[in-house]
């Protein structure tokens, strides 16, 4: 598919999610990251979000983005519960830090949405 903005009907849920929930890039601190989206298929499908400025990529599971992963009654919610995570918390993974190499230590980490936004405020 490739990274692109999803401003139309198709893809509007993940686009609204990232635009509303992560208003500042946690890697470069820009207030207008102009997030672009792609999808990674796997055991649990993930949305990938690319910052247009620094090219970092963060991701979240499709069920977390759509809201279906926030209950222990779903597969992802059950897996979260078994791994000691809070089922009602959205988790984001820092896939790539892009051209912000000072943040290289964060690459591969999974943090809560709240922690990700706190990181953005520290930059």
pLDDT tens digits, residue range 20-43? 999 999 999 999 899 999 999 998
Contacts of 50 (CB under 8 A, 6+ apart): 3, 35, 36, 37, 38, 56, 57
DSSP state of 38: E
Closest CA to 113 of 57, 58, 32: 58
pLDDT tens digits, residue range 52-78? 999 999 999 998 898 876 666 676 677
Q: Report whether 10 contacts 20 (CB < 8 A).
A: no
What are 29's two structure tokens? 């601190």
pLDDT tens digits, residue range 75-121? 667 777 777 777 788 999 999 998 876 667 889 999 999 999 998 88
What would the DSSP string read from start to end of 62-85? HHHHHTTTSSTTSHHHHHHHHTT-
């Amino acid at each position: 598919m490739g990274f692109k903005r999803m401003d139309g009907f198709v893809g509007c849920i993940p686009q609204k999610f990232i635009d509303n929930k992560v208003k500042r890039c946690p890697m470069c601190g820009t207030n207008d990251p102009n997030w672009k989206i792609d999808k990674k298929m796997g055991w649990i499908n993930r949305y990938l979000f690319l910052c247009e400025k620094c090219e970092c990529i963060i991701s979240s599971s499709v069920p977390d983005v759509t809201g279906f992963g926030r209950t222990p009654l779903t597969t992802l919610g059950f897996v979260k519960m078994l791994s000691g995570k809070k089922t009602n918390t959205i988790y984001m993974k820092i896939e790539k830090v892009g051209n912000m190499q000072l943040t290289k230590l964060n690459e591969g980490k999974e943090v809560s949405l709240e922690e990700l936004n706190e990181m953005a405020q520290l930059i």
